[in-house]
């Protein structure tokens, strides 16, 4: 770690001199019920060290057995990424010491990954409109997760300054798939967006395959960002840095951008980029030095002697190919056409993570317009305000369709519907029950409405005169007064009719 501190070069200026190259390594935790090589549970959040056994603790004499479901998930991910599936592949021991890795080696795959040579495509919004970038996939291999260290006594939760450390091995041995891209070249100033779009599409893909919950904030999907710069037009790659465990889409984009600025500063100062791992700091938006890492790091890989090779038959691979879901990009295009959304509307829907919710709301009877109105309006705002994933608000697609049905029946209006959503979030029952319990039903009883209209006319004689003179547009002010009087629970259409009747 010899580089002295240099100034960052602003992103746009850096791109005038250098071309970025990226390599993205994404670890996806599979959602199998048991671990990769033993029968221990994988349920998240259990008491520390309650989901362990001699195998995942690496005790002498314990023998691992491959989880067939994890192999199946690995093959399906490989196929969805257009990879070749190896008819024969082996596990290997990756030897290194780390306190949260009980065996002192990680069972991984080395030169014989189960899936290799694939590709996928992502679309990024550029100055010239949407542009498709092809991402080549080097490999997708199977391995196991490590445990978790907890550093106690310091102020930061990091090992520096801690009194002691605790280790929880519940996560040790949970199946991982590591997906590695080939160098991504030619993205230029769109590199941060391409990185983000790729990780987003991979997340969408593994969710569609139902092989992982892919929650970046819980660490079940994490991205390592390799980045290097080379002088524009050069075909030699520069020295790379590897920013580890970036755990949100936004951070992937920011980390690429930051590393471009940092590398450019080092190169402009005539210094050499250090090949090292780096830590991403979400709060400050910078990376800091981790450990130096050479290309040919000696992990003393050797084939795992306790496991038989994985040799999926062609028939099984073809059977699994037939289970692949519609590719996410094709599904989006199909749904957009079915729903009649504009490109911009569809992009907002995808951005809000609401595509499945809207599809389910439409199946439950709402129109595409109504489904989008609620999910991207009131409900997206609630999700945003409370930093809750939109699918965990406590409001289901069926309930949204029920609320819209109440609006369509003129029993509530859009404003009152928001109060129904308040009730749903608070767990007060079904929309129907909430309307009854909160007394939200719109009043369309002429007696009550007519009395309120009379009060409004009396209180606003000037407005009433205008309407008598034929300025019907002025009725809005009286409707507003009646709505206020009736706490929003009047049928606005009927109120308007009554006002016109009375004043003409």
Shortest spacing between CB 224 and Mn ion, in angstroms: 8
Which CB sits closer to Mn ion, 40 or 92? 92
146 binds, among Zn ion, Mn ion, none (CB under 5 to 8 A by kind): none
Q: Which strands, in side-by-side order, build the sheet including 92-95? A: 105-108, 92-95, 302-303
38 binds, among Zn ion, Mn ion, none (CB under 5 to 8 A by kind): Zn ion
53 binds, among Mn ion, Zn ion, none (CB under 5 to 8 A by kind): Zn ion
142 binds, among Zn ion, Mn ion, none (CB under 5 to 8 A by kind): none
Shortest spacing between CB 302 and Mn ion, in angstroms: 17
| Interface contacts to Zn ion, rule CB under 5 A | 38, 40, 53, 55-56
Which CB sits closer to Mn ion, 20 or 118? 118
| Residues near 330 by beta carbon (within 8 Å), at least 6 away in sequence | none
Collect contacts of 158-166 with beta carbons under 8 A, ≥24 apart.
165/99, 166/48
Which of 44, 20, 16 has its CA nearest to residue 30?
Answer: 44
If binding is defined by CB under 5 A, does position 178 make contact with Mn ion? yes
Shortest spacing between CB 289 and Zn ion, in angstroms: 35
| Residues near 252 by beta carbon (within 8 Å), at least 6 away in sequence | 192, 195, 196, 199, 223, 225, 246
Which CB sits closer to Zn ion, 55 or 228? 55
Shortest spacing between CB 422 and Zn ion, in angstroms: 45
Q: Are 249 and 200 in contact (CB under 8 A)?
A: yes
Which CB sits closer to Mn ion, 31 or 146? 146
Q: Is 290 helix (H, G, I), strand (E, B) or coil?
A: strand
Which CB sits closer to Mn ion, 178 or 259? 178
Which CB sits closer to Zn ion, 54 or 99? 54
Shortest spacing between CB 234 and Zn ion, in angstroms: 49
178 binds, among Mn ion, Zn ion, none (CB under 5 to 8 A by kind): Mn ion
Q: Exposure pattern of 125-163 as b/e (b: 16+ CB <10 Å)?
A: eeeeeeeebebebbbbbbbbbbbeeebeeeeeeeeeebe
Structure tokens at 37: 């090589």
Q: How many residues bind Mn ion (CB under 5 A)?
A: 1
24 binds, among Mn ion, Zn ion, none (CB under 5 to 8 A by kind): none
Shortest spacing between CB 373 and Mn ion, in angstroms: 43
Which of 501, 453, 494 has its CA nearest to residue 477?
Answer: 453
Structure tokens at 493: 């259409």
Phi-psi region of 426 (alpha: psi -120 to 50; beta: other; left: phi over 0): alpha
Residues engaged in binding Mn ion (CB under 5 A): 178
């Amino acid at each position: 770690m010899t580089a002295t501190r240099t100034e960052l070069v602003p992103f746009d200026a850096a791109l005038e001199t250098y071309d970025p190259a990226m390599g993205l390594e994404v670890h996806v935790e599979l959602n199998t019920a048991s671990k990769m090589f033993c029968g221990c549970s994988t349920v998240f959040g259990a008491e520390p060290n309650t989901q362990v056994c001699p195998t995942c603790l690496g005790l002498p004499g314990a023998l691992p057995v491959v989880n067939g479901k994890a192999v199946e998930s690995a093959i399906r991910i490989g196929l969805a990424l257009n990879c070749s599936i190896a008819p024969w592949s082996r596990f290997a021991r990756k030897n290194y010491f780390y306190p949260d890795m009980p065996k002192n080696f990680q069972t991984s795959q080395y030169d014989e990954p189960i899936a290799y040579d694939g590709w996928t495509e992502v679309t990024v919004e550029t100055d010239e409109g949407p542009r498709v970038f092809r991402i080549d996939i080097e490999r997708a291999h199977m391995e196991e997760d490590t445990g978790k260290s907890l550093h106690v006594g310091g102020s930061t939760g990091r090992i520096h300054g801690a009194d002691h450390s605790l280790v929880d091995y519940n996560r040790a041995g949970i199946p991982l798939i590591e997906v590695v891209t080939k160098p991504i070249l030619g993205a230029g100033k769109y590199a941060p967006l391409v990185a983000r779009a790729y990780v987003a599409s991979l997340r969408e893909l593994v969710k569609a395959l139902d092989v992982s919950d892919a929650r970046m904030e819980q660490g079940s999907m994490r991205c390592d960002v390799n980045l290097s710069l080379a002088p524009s037009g050069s075909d030699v790659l520069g020295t790379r840095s590897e920013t580890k465990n970036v755990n949100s889409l936004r951070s992937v984009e920011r980390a690429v951008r930051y590393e471009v600025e940092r590398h450019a500063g080092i190169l402009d100062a005539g210094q050499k980029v250090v090949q090292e791992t780096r830590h991403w700091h979400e709060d400050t938006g910078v990376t800091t030095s981790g450990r130096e890492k050479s290309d040919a790091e000696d992990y003393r890989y050797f084939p795992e002697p306790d496991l038989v090779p994985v040799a999926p038959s062609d028939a099984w691979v073809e059977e699994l190919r037939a289970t692949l879901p519609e590719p996410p990009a094709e599904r989006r295009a199909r749904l957009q056409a079915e729903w009649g959304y504009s490109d911009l509307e569809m992009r907002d829907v995808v951005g809000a993570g609401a595509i499945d919710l809207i599809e389910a709301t439409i199946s439950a009877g709402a129109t595409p317009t109504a489904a989008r109105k609620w999910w991207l309006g009131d409900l997206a705002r609630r999700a945003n305000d409370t930093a809750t994933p939109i699918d965990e608000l406590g409001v289901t697609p069926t309930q949204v369709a029920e609320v819209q049905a109440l609006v369509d029946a003129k029993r509530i209006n859009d404003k009152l519907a928001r109060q129904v959503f308040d009730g749903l979030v608070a767990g007060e029952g079904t929309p129907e029950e909430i309307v009854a319990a909160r007394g939200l039903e719109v009043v369309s009883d002429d007696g009550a409405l007519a009395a309120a209209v009379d009060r409004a006319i009396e209180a606003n004689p000037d407005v009433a005169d205008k309407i008598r003179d034929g300025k019907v547009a002025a009725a809005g002010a009286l409707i507003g007064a009646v709505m206020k009087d009736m706490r929003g629970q009047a049928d606005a259409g009927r109120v308007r009719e009554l006002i016109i009747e009375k004043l003409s």
